């Protein structure tokens, strides 16, 4: 058995990490409910496990999503993760050429140049030394990039770095020093035994003036100690994400989601966060000086720090979730924690049950609270509904009711359920076929929490439906329009196509650099209860400049709240989609006549 005392720091660190991680994994899995355990078990022994294995390779090692964010940033992460992984795997294969045992202790491939100083005199021996040198070079380039990123994050597509704690810094520095230490040790070894390849041999020759014999053994000690420090720091620092992300991918693909605060899935998510800081740039609260982004938020959860205000201070716009390379649903964590803080079990609403009509119509229009503050939308929808040819009625004409989402977002679940039951009864009483709402917030709630037995449509979908069934016609106007995707409609309900199709019927739709899932939040979001009015205004202004409206005559949105927030600060006029349609609506003309009309207009 090959052994030397200097492997001890490495070996103890490695065994510590292994034991610690196994205990943690066991605890997390044990904490899952019986159904979730069965789900995980069923998934692991199913054929779809291969998609997870593929994802582990592409995300945990190759970091494909970060490559999409910025190529250089992706290379930095991939070179370190994938490079190190290959170094370990190939090192283990290389050992097979030297050792007569089939199983070797884990330190032999790491310190191979110490235990086997002479290269095997064949093609494979030299080939492997070359590959190992090459991989080391790639990792070193990654370390150099990581070093430069601390000073010039803008070159990596990031506006600012994450501010780390001292403990994380120790872990980062030990990781950075692992590979230079390996390089030094192998180069010294190469200058004596000539067992290196292009990198270590060259460096060994350059170091020939040094007393290599006396320095070699301490350099192996140094390499081992730095590895040991890194392994001991790993479970308590950001690098716990390396093992945890694998479990996270498995759990997520098995269909497990966190259902309450400190659910085991959420604990896995918190430790799987690598604090890479990509969410910091995507967050709109960064620019007004709040450190509340998931990177910071999850850190406060992980180390049990006080963070009440951080939990509430979030727009819940979901941009960070879209940007996260690990796929952490941080907005869900926030909502669950708000439930813990704000739940009021004593609430008993006394609604008026019989004030609503129960006449039957095909279309039921639900304006929603926010639409009542922007009566232009309600008026426009009335015009459109008149032209649609459907029989219709407004549910909340003068008796305003809430969909319950504000309470859900604030965490008052039991109160929200009462509201939901009440509103659902009112809606079901009308037995309508289509429920149309102008408010994306209501739309999302109807879809997710109501279990209604009718077609639920946002007004953008409804107008699109009217166009495709040739129920309304509009005049074409030569105006340049930019469309703003409301958070709840776009990222929340995945509706991107229909509003764009509607706009293209009426005006020129300009493309935008920040649209669809990257669209900014207007700042008026109901998810945030902490922001002051001035700060909201600032967010709205910055969102407008992010969308760059210089070439646009009109900004169109599909949410009453966005309309209200934007029209307060915008220099370009802002309109709701329904207003744009209602203003240009014309009496229906037959299909052919419409075509001729269009042809004449283009002439």
Q: How far is CA 553 from CA 10, 331, 339, 536, 582, in A?
A: 65, 34, 43, 24, 18
Pick 375 or 590: Cβ nearer other proteins: 375
Dist CA 484 CA 504 (whole Å): 14
Q: Residue with structure tokens 């890479």?
A: 276
Of positions 23, 38, 533, 589, contacts other proteins by CB under 8 A: 533
Pick 238 or 307: Cβ nearer other proteins: 307
Give one DSSP letter per residue of 370-400, joined into a string.
HHHH-HHHHHHHHHHHHHH-S-EEETTSSS-
Of positions 159, 351, 590, 601, contacts other proteins by CB under 8 A: 351
Asked whether position 222 contacts other proteins by CB under 8 A, the answer is no
Pick 34 or 350: Cβ nearer other proteins: 350
Stretch that binds other proteins, among 136-144, 191-199, 368-376, 507-515 (CB under 8 A): 368-376
The size of the interface with other proteins (CB under 8 A), counted in residues, is 35
Q: How far is the CB of 327 from other proteins (least distance, A)?
A: 30
Long-range contacts of 150-157 (CB under 8 A, 24+ apart): 155/72, 156/70, 156/72, 156/73, 156/76, 157/69, 157/70, 157/72, 157/73
Dist CA 81 CA 210 (whole Å): 33
Of positions 347, 497, 589, 596, contacts other proteins by CB under 8 A: 347
Asked whether position 589 contacts other proteins by CB under 8 A, the answer is no
User: Are the C-beta atoms of 516 and 485 separated by less than 8 Å?
Assistant: yes
Compute how many other C-beta atoms are within 10 angstroms of the C-beta atom of residue 157. Answer: 15
- Which is nearest to 335 in space by CA: 283, 281, 297, 295? 297
27 contact partners, CB below 8 Å, separation of at least 6: none
Q: Residue 585: beta bridge partners?
A: 474
Asked whether position 451 contacts other proteins by CB under 8 A, the answer is no
Asked whether position 162 contacts other proteins by CB under 8 A, the answer is no
As a three-state string, the secondary structure of 265-326 is HHHHHHHHCCCCCHHHHHCCCCCCCCCCCHHHHHHHHHCCCCCHHHHHCCCCCCHHHHHCCC
116 contact partners, CB below 8 Å, separation of at least 6: 98
- Which is nearest to 52 in space by CA: 248, 327, 240, 217? 248
Of positions 122, 208, 214, 346, contacts other proteins by CB under 8 A: 346
Asked whether position 32 contacts other proteins by CB under 8 A, the answer is no
Of positions 158, 181, 256, 369, contacts other proteins by CB under 8 A: 369
Asked whether position 344 contacts other proteins by CB under 8 A, the answer is yes
Of positions 266, 412, 460, 557, contacts other proteins by CB under 8 A: 412
Q: How far is CA 113 from CA 88, 132, 219, 452, in A?
A: 14, 11, 12, 68
Asked whether position 354 contacts other proteins by CB under 8 A, the answer is no
Stretch that binds other proteins, among 93-101, 399-407, 424-432, 455-463 (CB under 8 A): 399-407
Q: How far is the CB of 561 from other proteins (least distance, A)?
A: 8
Asked whether position 562 contacts other proteins by CB under 8 A, the answer is no
Asked whether position 373 contacts other proteins by CB under 8 A, the answer is yes
Q: By rule CB under 8 A, what string of x and - marks binding of each residue 231-260 to other proteins?
A: ------------------------------
Stretch that binds other proteins, among 10-18, 251-259, 343-351, 499-507 (CB under 8 A): 343-351
The tokens for 455 are 């077609």
Residues 295-314 that bind other proteins (CB under 8 A): 312
Q: By rule CB under 8 A, what string of x and - marks binding of each residue 43-72 to other proteins?
A: ------------------------------
Asked whether position 315 contacts other proteins by CB under 8 A, the answer is no
User: Are the C-beta atoms of 161 and 116 separated by less than 8 Å?
Assistant: no
Of positions 112, 370, 456, 540, contacts other proteins by CB under 8 A: 370
Of positions 5, 534, 551, 587, contacts other proteins by CB under 8 A: 534
Dist CA 407 CA 519 (whole Å): 25
Asked whether position 564 contacts other proteins by CB under 8 A, the answer is yes
Pick 343 or 583: Cβ nearer other proteins: 343
Q: How far is the CB of 143 from other proteins (least distance, A)?
A: 46
Asked whether position 532 contacts other proteins by CB under 8 A, the answer is yes
Dist CA 235 CA 160 (whole Å): 26
Asked whether position 352 contacts other proteins by CB under 8 A, the answer is yes
Asked whether position 407 contacts other proteins by CB under 8 A, the answer is yes
Going 261 to 265 to 267 to 272, the CA torsion angle's sign is: negative
Q: How far is the CB of 296 from other proteins (least distance, A)?
A: 21
Pick 344 or 596: Cβ nearer other proteins: 344
Rg (CA), the chain: 30
- Which is nearest to 523 in space by CA: 573, 571, 570, 578? 570
Of positions 321, 402, 554, 562, contacts other proteins by CB under 8 A: 402
User: Are the C-beta atoms of 473 and 585 separated by less than 8 Å?
Assistant: yes
Dist CA 484 CA 512 (whole Å): 9
Dist CA 407 CA 490 (whole Å): 21
Residues 512-531 that bind other proteins (CB under 8 A): 524, 526, 529-531
Pick 325 or 486: Cβ nearer other proteins: 486
Q: How far is the CB of 369 from other proteins (least distance, A)?
A: 4
Dist CA 362 CA 358 (whole Å): 12
Asked whether position 348 contacts other proteins by CB under 8 A, the answer is yes
Pick 116 or 312: Cβ nearer other proteins: 312
- Which is nearest to 268 in space by CA: 80, 104, 26, 490? 26
Residues near other proteins, by CB under 8 A: 312, 341-342, 344, 346-352, 369-370, 372-373, 399-402, 404, 406-407, 410, 412, 415, 419, 524, 526, 529-534, 564
């Amino acid at each position: 058995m090959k052994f030397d005392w200097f492997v001890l720091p490495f070996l103890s660190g490695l065994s510590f990490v292994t034991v610690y991680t196994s205990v943690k994994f066991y605890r997390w899995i044990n904490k899952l409910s019986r159904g979730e355990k069965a789900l995980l078990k069923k998934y692991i022994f199913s054929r779809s496990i291969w998609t997870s294995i593929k994802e582990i390779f592409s995300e945990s090692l190759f970091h494909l999503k970060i490559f999409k964010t910025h190529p250089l940033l992706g290379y930095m992460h991939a070179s370190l993760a994938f490079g190190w992984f290959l170094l370990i795997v190939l090192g283990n294969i290389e050992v097979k050429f030297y050792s007569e045992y089939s199983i070797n202790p884990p330190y032999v491939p790491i310190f191979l140049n110490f235990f086997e100083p002479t290269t095997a005199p064949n093609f494979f021996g030299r080939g492997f030394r070359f590959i190992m040198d090459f991989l080391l070079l790639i990792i070193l380039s990654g370390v150099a990039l990581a070093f430069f990123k601390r000073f010039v994050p803008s070159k990596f597509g990031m506006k600012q770095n994450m501010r780390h704690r001292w403990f994380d810094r120790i872990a980062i520095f030990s990781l950075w020093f692992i590979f230079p230490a390996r390089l030094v040790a192998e180069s010294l070894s190469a200058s004596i035994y000539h067992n290196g390849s292009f990198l270590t041999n060259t460096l060994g020759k350059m170091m020939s003036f040094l007393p290599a014999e006396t320095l070699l053994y301490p350099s192996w000690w140094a390499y081992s100690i730095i590895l040991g420090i890194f392994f001991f720091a790993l479970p308590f620092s950001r690098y716990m994400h390396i093992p945890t992300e694998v479990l996270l991918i498995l759990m997520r693909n098995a269909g497990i989601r966190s259902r309450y605060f400190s659910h085991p899935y959420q604990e896995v998510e918190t430790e799987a966060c690598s604090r890479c800081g990509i969410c910091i740039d995507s967050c709109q609260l960064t620019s007004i000086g709040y450190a509340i982004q998931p990177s910071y938020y999850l850190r406060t959860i992980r180390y049990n720090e006080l963070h009440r205000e951080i939990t509430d201070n979030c727009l819940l716009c979901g941009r960070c979730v879209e940007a996260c390379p690990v796929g952490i649903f941080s907005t869900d964590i926030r909502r669950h924690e708000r439930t813990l803080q704000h739940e009021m079990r004593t609430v008993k609403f006394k609604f008026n049950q019989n004030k609503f009509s129960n006449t039957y119509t095909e279309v039921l229009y639900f304006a929603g609270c926010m639409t009542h503050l922007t009566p232009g939308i309600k008026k426009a929808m009335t015009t459109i509904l008149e032209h649609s040819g459907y029989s219709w009625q407004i549910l909340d004409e003068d008796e305003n009711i809430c969909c319950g989402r504000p309470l859900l977002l604030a965490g008052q679940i039991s109160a929200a359920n009462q509201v939901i039951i009440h509103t659902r009864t009112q809606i079901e009483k009308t037995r309508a076929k289509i429920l149309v709402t102008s408010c994306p917030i209501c739309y999302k709630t109807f879809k997710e929490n109501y279990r209604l037995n009718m077609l639920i449509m946002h007004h953008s979908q409804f107008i699109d439906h009217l166009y495709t069934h040739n129920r309304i016609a509009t005049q074409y106007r030569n105006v340049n329009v930019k469309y703003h995707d409301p958070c709840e409609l776009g990222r929340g309900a995945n509706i991107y196509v229909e509003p764009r199709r509607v706009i293209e019927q009426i005006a020129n739709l300009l493309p935008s650099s920040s649209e669809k899932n990257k669209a900014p939040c207007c700042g008026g979001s109901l998810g945030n209860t902490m922001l002051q009015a001035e700060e909201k205004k600032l967010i709205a202004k910055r969102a407008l400049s992010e969308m760059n409206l210089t070439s646009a005559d009109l900004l169109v949105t599909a949410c009453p709240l966005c309309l209200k927030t934007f029209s307060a600060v915008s220099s370009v006029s802002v309109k709701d989609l329904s207003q744009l349609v209602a203003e240009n609506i014309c009496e229906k003309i037959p299909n052919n006549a419409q075509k001729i009309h269009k042809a004449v207009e283009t002439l």
